[in-house]
Amino acid sequence: MKQYQINIRKKNIPEFSFDPALPITAKKDEIIESISKNQVVIISGETGSGKTTQIPKFCLAAGRGIYGKIGCTQPRRIAAITVAARIAEELGEETGKSVGYKIRFTDKTRKDAFIKIMTDGILLAEAHRDPYLNEYDTIIVDEAHERNLNIDFILGLLKNLLRKRRNLKVVITSATIDTEKFSKAFDNAPVIEVSGRTFPVETHYMPVDPELEESSDKTHVDLAAEAVDKLLRESRTGDILIFMPTEQDIRETTEILEGRKYVSVEIMPIFARLPASEQSRVFKPIQARKIIIATNIAETSITIPGIKYVIDTGLARISHYSSRSRSTALPVVKISRSSADQRKGRCGRVENGVCIRLYPEEDYKSRPLYTLPEILRSNLAEVILRMIALNLGDVSAFPFIDGPPPKSIKDGYEILLELGAIERDGRNGSGFSLTQNGKMMASLPVDPRISRMLIEAQKRGCLEEIAVIAAALSCQDPRERPTDKIDEANRAHRLFMDIQSDFITLLNIWSRFNEALKGVKITAGIKKFCRANYLSFRRMKEWRDIYSQIQDILLENGMKNQKTENEAAESGKGKPGIYSPLYTAVHKSVLSGFLSNIAVKKERNMFSATKEKSVLIFPGSGLFKNPGTWIVAAEMIETSKLFARTVANIESSWIEEIGKERCRYSYHEPHWERTRGEVVALEQVSLYGLVIASGRSASYGKVNPKEASDIFIRRAIVDGDIRIQFPFMDHNKNLKSEIIDLENRVRRRDIFAGDEVMYEFYRKNLPDIYDIRTFSKYIKSKGSDRFLRMTREDFLRYNPDEEEIALYPDNLKLGDKPFQCLYSFDPGKPEDGVTVKIPSAYSGSVPPETTEWLVPGLLKEKITALIKGLPKEFRKKLLPVPRTVETIMAKMPPGKTSLKTALSGFIYENFGIDIPASEWSDETLPEHLKMRILITGSNGEELCSGRDKLILAKDFSAKADSAFLEKARKKHEIKGITAWDFADIPESVIIKINEEAGRIYFQGLQQDEGCVNLRIFESEKEALKSHAEGTVALFMIVFEKELKHAKKHISLSGELHEYTGFLGGIKNFNGVFFKSVINEIFDVVIRTREKFDSHALHVFSIVFSRGQEKIKIITPVLKAFHETMTNLQELKKKASRNRAAYALMIRLENETARLLPVNFMQLYEPGRLLHIPRYLQAVSVRAQRGITDPEKEKIRSGELEIHTDSLEKLLKNLTPIVSEEKKKAIEEYFWLIEEYKVSLFAQELKTPVPVSAKRLDKKFKEIERMV
């Protein structure tokens, strides 16, 4: 300050005087002198001493206020206003001249003022802008005993500042005697004590009966009413002040006392939410006695005149912030002794006073002396933010009178971290610095949560709405609910209510209020509007003033409201979860300030809040009846329960968007996802213990690069589960398949080195890559993928020699065709062992017995298993089994017959052990030692598979694609053929399904009535059979005339006619005979017209000679057959009365007819036909002798029956897969029996080969060894 300004201030010092009636005036000189001589003075003045109004004037008297203002802090706004007014009145001036005041959003102080009364928060805010507080030369910290948060920070700030500003004077006043702490904190500053009372005060204790209090039959409200009754009965004058803990208690007490109908008594409630007009009544003198019912607002600062009696409940609602639950509780608790004394000091100002305490004296004495300083029970976030902005250092090192507990400090920091206001200081790991948002928040003199909301709102284009909400949250709820008009008030308030958001409710009130403002004077029409809607005019005006101040602050900081295209913030009052753009923007902004005040519904209006708290929606909320799943609240207040107040429905996705940096992300079940082409995990997002999202797929690479890379290598590359097949993968896959196939063949698991070798190879050659895009780029940067190609040696742990590998061929010849072999070493699975892949077109042509031999590499194991599976009587003769097997493997050649047949034969020949084939059991064989047969369709698809050889006999034509086959028939088949006027017939045709696949079919002629057809067949065997018949049929159609002529010359004639009587007659027989001749000549495959024509010429050239040759051969047969059948008929007539003989004749007739059917010349080879007459003669001899010697017939029939039964047994057990060898052997057995019949019944006819029962038994056993 310049000298001329100092001179002006000296000249303009206001005149002041001191009230001698005030107790502090007696200490005037001592105090003035102490202020002049000391930098810090502490004054302890009891309530009513006059310290608040007189000390600023003492400072003027001590020469202060010249080099700067005398600043005086007050803990309450109402106190700052009333104190400024009182001092100005004592100076004979209006407020705002020499004495002014400044409260939040209101400054009534001139630049040339001498005394400035302000709230302690204002001084802290000024310290932010001017750390040296150069505006002041003296600071008075009044009511320091209240020890609110701001007071403690001001004291600490001043302690540091006093060392830097030696010209600064500090006066600390306290209404208690607890001044020792203050003195020590300021280097043992002098303490001056001032008495407050001018009249003595009697104290009476009037406690409630504990039993009545416990049963709620009598409460402190009832007791207070009784005390009033007593005082009014015993005294005529003196006002009464009653201290109640809550607004509700005040309302109940007021209701009770008003019901008493006292005469000349005015009952006046006073509490913070009461309209200003009603609050001011308590200060005005009236004729009637006053009964004032107040909260602890009346303890200090505000002196209510005329109080003679105080009724003290000893209770108060005191805020307490819990760092654990992040909520502010307002429980009703017992006050301290100093607070009780403050209340007592409200009486005895004008005459002797009486204080009635509604609790026992022992209770009073047992209470703590002082109320716990607010800093020890408060949220420190706002002050910490400003301390960081003021560079005041570490909070824990700040010179507090009583340092806050570490938990509270930690909680303050956590709130600021939650709001994104601070971050760890990179230069000092243990410290914090302000973020960009934090710097803006520190510049806004509002609660950090409010400032954070404003910053977010600017980004989202809803700054106007959030400014309104911020102003509303900075003052008391404007809605009033008079005790006698609660229902009317509720109805009025319901018009503003939004069922989705209490914040929108506030905006609705604001909107309606501003509409009412248009065109009316505030003092007139707007008051009417407020009364009609049960709104406090004073609070609405305060809300509007605060809003204006916020707008000024925003303007000062360059924060302009940028309106977006958002529509009205009304949520729709309908379906939860459907929100307008502006609703979304507003509530995301709210979320930014109250992120820790989120909650998720458990049931009805019970919610799970952060940090494992349970919270209820406050009953007055618009959401109380039907809240959404997620809510955000402006505050969590604990009374009887923890309540969420000023609540809104939100979406959980908004929480993550706003609080992303504070969210905790956990990941589980990391896995490769082929469709996304990257390693992902299931992500769970939680915030402060609440799960806001779970089970969604998220990239895992940045979370855990090494593990993600491991998964990528194992699943995408090693397992090949990838959409893009890179060339190196095909290369390595083929190498691996070769090695795995080799293991499958030799049935070992010690050749392939394992997938781990592949993993290690890739891990060594790749950085941490976990997605396809990066992988592709990396390969491209390398120029090629050659660096990822493995060698065969990389895969091998052991390398079998070539001879061993050769025992497991790729193809196996079954019959006359090779088929692909597939190998699997997977015991217990259907594919285990060797599988032969046979197209269905060839399945019928594969000799089933050839599949028994498996492949050479498995033959030894199979033979060993077969021998071990023999019944003991055979097995024990082959011990030791290994040596027997070695002999078999060395000497038994691989045959075309069944393996079991070969084994039985070899063992019989080399070891003399006769083992029937039926004794070789497949049941004891391991599955891999039975050939697995896979029948495939024309597309290569599986039609059937299994280890039963009967599969080969199945007809798979039904499984073909009928639609496709029909299409193929139309293209390749010809019907009604009577001449070879078509193209050559290929053995098979491949009919394409598409460009890459086709089906194999076989073509052949098929006999039809009067014509032939060219058809396609799925089975080669069926095609060959049909084609042979069809070719003969076509020949007979084409050369019908020529054949008629030829038929005349090779037909039976003369006496031979009578020999055909038992064979259907000569005409029928000639047809069969002639066809048999043609078939015999046509026993060739013809597929071209040229060959057909040339062969026809050949037929005509030999048909006559062949026919004559055949006539010569069959003539003896026909003659013998005719004679035998005639003989049998004659004998049958003679034996008509002999039942046994007659039955024999019938049996022999049947056997003879079976032996020689009409087409016998087609069934039997010419060599066999030579023996037929002898067999027929033997029948005649047997018939004659059977009649003459029936006993001998019976004996010999019994001997024969043993072998005919054996034959029947063999025939009965024939299956479609019986080997051709066995079929041939059975046929030989049949003809041996016929020879045996000759030797039994007509020995004189003799046999061309030795035959006996023993030889037949041997043959039977030989057949039994066959499969």
H or E element at residue 593: helix 581-593
Q: How does residue 840 score in pLDDT terms, banded at 50, 70 and 90?
A: confident
The pLDDT value recorded for residue 302 is 59
d(CA 768, CA 708): 8
pLDDT > 70? residue 1229: yes
Q: What is the pLDDT of residues 359-387, one digit of tens each?
A: 999 999 999 988 888 778 777 887 788 78
**Beta carbons within 8 Å of 248's beta carbon, 6+ residues apart:** none
Residue 993 lies in a domain: yes
More confident residue, 640 or 514: 514
Encoding tokens for residue 632? 């955000």
Same structural domain, 61 and 104:
yes
C-alpha 442/C-alpha 452 separation (Å) is 10
CA–CA dist 897, 915 (Å, integer): 16
Question: Which of the pair, 1082 or 682, is modelled with greater confidence?
Answer: 682
Q: Does some domain include residue 691? A: no
Q: What is the pLDDT of residue 428?
A: 53
What is the structure's pLDDT at 697? 93
Is pLDDT of 575 > 50? no
Task: Give per-residue pLDDT as tens, 122-146.
Answer: 998 888 789 899 999 999 999 888 8
Cα–Cα distance for residue pair 920/916, rounded to 1 Å: 8
State the average pLDDT over residues 199-211.
85
Work out the percent of the chain whose per-residue pLDDT is above 90: 52
Q: What is the dihedral of CA 119, 121, 124, 128, to 10 degrees?
A: -120
Q: From 149, 174, 194, give the residue that closes a domain.
A: 194
Residue 568 has pLDDT above 70, yes or no: no
* Residue 933 resides in a domain: yes
Query: Tokens in use for 1041?
Result: 């005339």
Highest average pLDDT, of 431-435, 480-484, 829-833, comes from 829-833
Per-residue confidence (pLDDT) for residue 573, from 0 to 100: 43
Residue 838, in any domain of the structure: yes
* Interval 253-272 mean pLDDT: 89
pLDDT digits (tens, 9 = 90+) for 913-929: 999 888 898 888 999 99
Q: Kindly report the CATH number assigned to the domain that includes residue 320.
A: 3.40.50.300
Q: What is the pLDDT of residue 216?
A: 43
- Residue 732 amino acid letter: N
* The residue to which tokens 């285990």 are assigned: 832
State whether 366 and 388 are in the same domain: no
What tens digit of pLDDT does each residue of 709-746 get?
A: 999 999 999 999 999 889 999 999 999 999 999 999 99
- 389, 128 in Cβ contact below 8 A? yes
Q: Are residues 367 and 425 in the same domain?
A: no
Q: Compute the average pLDDT of residues 768-785.
A: 95
pLDDT for residue 275 is more than 60: no
Chain mean pLDDT for the chain:
87
Report how many domains make up the chain: 8
Q: Which of 982-996, 1088-1102, 1244-1258 bottoms out in mean pLDDT, i.e. has the lowest?
A: 982-996
Share of the chain above pLDDT 70, in %: 93
Percent of the chain that is helix, strand, coil (3-state, to 5): 50, 15, 35
What is the chain's alpha carbon radius of gyration, rounded to the nearest angstrom? 59
Q: Are residues 949 and 961 in the same domain?
A: no
> Do 363 and 386 fall within a single domain?
no
Is the separation of the CB atoms in 241 and 299 below 8 Å?
no
Tens-place pLDDT, residues 165-175: 999 999 999 87
The answer to whether 1066 and 1053 have CB atoms below 8 angstroms apart is: no
Distance of CA 442 to the CA centre of its chain: 42
**Per-residue buried b or exposed e for 310-331, using 16+ beta carbons within 10 Å of the residue's own CB:** bbbbbbbbbebbbbebbbbbee
Write out the E strands in 220-331: 239-243, 265-270, 289-294, 307-312, 315-317, 320-322, 327-329
pLDDT in tens, 1178-1204: 999 999 999 999 999 999 999 999 999
Instruction: Give the distance, in angstroms, between the CA of residue 1198 and the centroid of all CA atoms in the same chain.
Output: 83
**Mutual angle of helices 51-61 and 77-90, in 10-degree steps:** 50
- What average pLDDT score do residues 856-861 get? 94
First-last CA distance in the chain: 128
**pLDDT at 215 > cutoff 50:** no
Whether residue 67 is found in the same domain as residue 174 = yes
175: nearest Cα among 370, 431, 390: 370
541 and 431 part of one domain: no
Q: Does some domain include residue 231?
A: yes
pLDDT at 576 over 60: no
Does residue 210 surpass a pLDDT of 80? no
The verdict on 474 and 621 lying in the same domain is: yes
The reply to whether 1137 and 1202 lie within a common domain is: yes
**Which tens digits make up the pLDDT trace of 1099-1140?**
888 888 888 888 888 899 999 999 999 999 999 898 888 889
Considering the domain architecture, whether residues 314 and 257 belong to the same structural domain is answered as yes
State residue 1027's pLDDT score: 93
Please indicate, yes or no, whether residues 210 and 359 belong to a single structural domain of this protein: yes
pLDDT winner (highest mean) among 66-80, 554-568, 660-674, 1038-1052: 660-674
Domain final position from 658, 675, 697: 658
**CATH code for the domain in which residue 429 is found:** 1.10.10
Q: Is 299 exposed, middle or buried (0-12, 13-18, 19+ CB in 10 A)?
A: buried
Strand partners, 205: 357
Distances in Å between the Cα of 713 and the Cα atoms of 531, 668, 736, 763 are 75, 19, 16, 7
Structural domain range at position 997: 957-1105
194 Cβ neighbours under 8 A, 6+ residues apart: 23, 24, 26, 27, 43, 44, 45, 46, 49, 51
1078 located within any domain: yes
Q: Is 60 exceeded by the pLDDT of residue 541?
A: yes
Pick from 489, 494, 491, 519: nearest CA to 508: 494
Asked if the structure places residue 8 within a domain, the reply is yes
Domain boundary among 953, 975, 1003: 953
* 445-459: average pLDDT: 87
Domain contains 1093 = yes
Task: Convert the pLDDT of each residue in 462-481 to its tens digit.
Answer: 999 999 998 888 777 889 88
Confidence of residue 274 (pLDDT cuts 50, 70, 90): low
Q: Which candidate, 30, 74, 39, 76, places its Cα nearest to that of 53? A: 74
* Claim to verify: residue 398 and residue 359 sit in the same structural domain: no
pLDDT of residue 328 exceeding 50: no
- Alpha carbon dihedral 36, 42, 44, 48, in 10-degree steps, equals 60
Q: Residues 664-681: what's their mean pLDDT?
A: 95
Q: Is the pLDDT of residue 572 over 50?
A: no
Q: Which of 483-497, 498-512, 772-786 is least confident?
A: 483-497
